[in-house]
Amino acid sequence: LAEEIKELLTEKWADQLAQCELILVSVSKRMKSTLLGTEKEPFLPATHRIRKLPFMIGKPTFEAVQAAYLRAASVVFCEEKVADQIAARFKPAKVEEAVEAQPAPAPKVKQVEEVPEAVKYSEEEDPLFNALHVASQS
């Protein structure tokens, strides 16, 4: 598998990847060397362009890649104070602030979660709908 990935990245896709400003990946730490190579021998020469997606995508399906692309390429318009609140979740907290900011543990309350209704895809709604979608719905 590692040899096939290396061949794809270094030979077959090299021209396309060279034209990319950023290369976004979602890979576990354990599989990172298989997908991207090692620090001493990376599969891509410009490792500064490789970024980890800031969210999980689950199984590596075409639909997951489409959803990740939409999330990564989206722009959210909001007021500055709302943007600060959203960005604050992703900023690293200082050790002193983290200790002070810990709220008292809330009492445990068993909550019943609603199960979302399964999404049904159809050929009319999705131009990429195919026989695999039909099979996955059964």
Q: What is the distance in angstroms between the CA of the first residue and the CA of the last residue of the chain?
A: 31
The pLDDT confidence band at residue 113, using thresholds 50, 70 and 90, is low
- Name the nearest CA neighbour of 120 among 94, 100, 138: 138
Distance between CA atoms of 12 and 17, rounded to whole angstroms?
10
Q: Which of 38-47, 63-72, 108-117 shows the lowest mean pLDDT across its residues? A: 108-117
> Cβ(65)–Cβ(92) under 8 Å?
no
Distance between CA atoms of 36 and 43, rounded to whole angstroms?
5
Distance between CA atoms of 89 and 126, rounded to whole angstroms?
34
Query: E strand or H helix at 135, and its extent?
Result: helix 131-137
Which tokens go with 6? 């290396």
Amino acid type, 103:
P
Q: What is the pTM of this model?
A: 0.50
Query: E strand or H helix at 81, and its extent?
Result: helix 80-88
pLDDT tens across 69-96, in order?
A: 888 888 878 888 888 887 777 666 665 5
Under DSSP, the state recorded for 47 is: G
Which tokens go with 73? 């390429």
